[in-house]
Structure 1
Amino acid sequence: MNESASGKHRLVVLTGPTAVGKGTVEAQLRAAHPEVWVSVSATTRAPRPGELHGVTYWFVDEQEFAAMEKRGEFLETALVHNMAHYGTPLKPVLEHMNAGIPTILEIDLQGARRVKERAAELGLDVVYVFLAPPSFEDLIARLASRGTENEEQRQKRLETAKVELASEGEYDVVITNDTVEHAAEELWNVISREYA
């Protein structure tokens, strides 16, 4: 096993701008490598068509989210696009890592930064991966083609994406999502180095 100096496996954190295809790449990765465990985040936003509670996200209301946060149950939390809270439940992440199961978080930029803040205090070794679009124009097209946001929401997400793209240099690894298959293969290469 390839383990860190502390003897623990490294957590893989995948982030990138909105609509870059994080979820699609992660789904492709899991189809090819079902042994990978992807953390399920909690969120206060409403489910989109086809999303399942406990599978896609843990859908909770603002009151329950605040209670979980107060109890220290999250690795990280963030208010995303000033619209909804998201958080990564800590306990299942630690359980999977301690069992030697390849563990990945697919989160937004704010969440990745909060993981960086808490990683040392929790004794977590982390490799940070940034998924980038081939171009900003490609990102605009992807967001429009999703059809999951109205025009105002799309504009908010694009403004956020500009800021997120500027942070690419903060990450250990950058993968360009030119094709889903290629990006998933590159992500597996990162994971397999940590859990081979």
Structure 2
Amino acid sequence: MHRDPSHWYDLGEPSARPLVELDVVLMRKDPPVDADFTNAVHLLGFAEREGVLVVNPTAALLQCNEKLFAQQFPQCCAPTLVASRDDVLRAFHAEHGDVIFKPLDGMGGTGIFHIGPEGRNIGAVIEQLTLRGQRQIMAQRYLPEIKDGDTRILLVDGEPVPFGLARIPSAGETRGNLAAGGRV
């Protein structure tokens, strides 16, 4: 580790060693939260119990689903529904008129659909995302303000970092995800 902000680390050669020999493990895996993710978290839990600092703590990784965790703060979110049933998702669309449907385990804007008031292609989108009712998805009322971007607020040790990451959709896009062409 170096104290130079423009050169603060060097990657060494990969090596295999027991996790308990490490001082710190930074766990940041992009979705999906699947069996590989769960297994990695359980293995890190063994190291954590042996005194290795695991960032983020394994209990938090298992309890704080990226998309669902925000629902603890409904006052900060657009109206949201999690469901797998076609009739329930269509009723949400009928109530809100302009909605976003997305997978719970997606990332980078993959699988996000904007269904306008006319409901064009809603059946195909629901079939595809829910695997014909076998998988829950998230529905949210569309916020037209997304054209101006969204802001990710980062917390370190429970304290907000004094700046946010604004993600702005490219022209003609609803998604502000950087992997989907959004800009910072």
TM-score by length of structure 1 reads: 0.26
Q: Which has the higher contact order (CA 8 A, sep 6+)?
A: 1
TM-score by length of structure 2 reads: 0.27
Structure of larger gyration radius? 2
Structure having the higher helix fraction is: 1
